[in-house]
Amino acid sequence: MDIEASMRKSVESTQRTFNTIRTGRANPSLLDKLSVDYYGAETPLRSLATLSTPDSQTIQIQPFDRGSMALIEKAIAMSDLGLTPNNDGKVIRINIPPLTEDRRKEFCKLASRYAEEGKVSLRNIRRDAIDQVKKQEKEGELSEDQSRDAQEAVQKLTDRFIAELEKHLAEKEVDILKV
């Protein structure tokens, strides 16, 4: 088991989750988790349309199939994003309103929760790795010193990735709170 690769994936996953949190600016990644009921199949929005940001307050959605416009509009309106789509017959525009102070604080709490989930994931990877080392020691594959060294290495790796996750959280909070 490659512990470092697993931890890296966990941190990257948390970063992708951070990207779905609104900041004061329009960002197409806000719609990453959005899927549309397209002819009976849940389809990611990115598979149905081109997403762009013509300015800092607008997300523009250009569907590949004009017949899917109403479905996309409905999916956005029904989502928990709190955004209102505007359809002009060719493209769907979403105006991103400036965030209130309370909303910014809510999003910071959400980011902290996502970071905590990422840390739990890292700790689970650490626990599995240490259990594996202890098992190897018990079976006589590793000496007591080798086992202790391996456990310390796993802990140092975990600390490094938790620090990286904390850094990403701090950056995201600055981004959210920036007016």
pLDDT for position 175: 86
Same domain for 137 and 79: no
The Cα 174–Cα 179 span in angstroms is 10
Same domain for 90 and 104: no
Q: Which of 75, 95, 115 is the last residue of a domain?
A: 95
Q: Encode pLDDT of 31-81 as tens digits.
A: 888 888 888 888 898 888 999 888 888 889 999 988 888 888 888 888 877
Same domain for 105 and 91: no
pLDDT for position 155: 95
Read off the CATH number of the domain in which 75 is found: 3.30.1360.40
Number of structural domains the chain divides into: 2
pLDDT for position 29: 81
Which residue from 12, 5, 15, 53 is spatially nearest to 169, judged by alpha carbons? 15
Asked whether the beta carbons of 84 and 95 are under 8 A apart, the reply is: yes
Asked whether the beta carbons of 162 and 119 are under 8 A apart, the reply is: yes
Same domain for 35 and 9: no
Same domain for 104 and 147: yes
Q: Which of 70, 95, 120 is the last residue of a domain?
A: 95
Residue 94 token pair: 């979403």
pLDDT for position 1: 61
pLDDT for position 118: 95
Read off the CATH number of the domain in which 166 is found: 1.10.132.20
Report the largest interatomic distance among the alpha carbons of the chain, rounded to a whole angstrom: 71
The range of the structural domain enclosing residue 36 comes to: 25-95
Strand ranges inside 33-153, DSSP E: 35-38, 41-44, 49-55, 58-63, 85-87, 92-95
Same domain for 171 and 128: yes
Same domain for 50 and 75: yes
Q: Which of the residues in the chain have pLDDT under 50?
A: none
Q: Which residues contact 70 (CB under 8 A, 6 or more apart)?
A: 87
Same domain for 124 and 79: no
Q: Which of 95, 117, 134 is the last residue of a domain?
A: 95
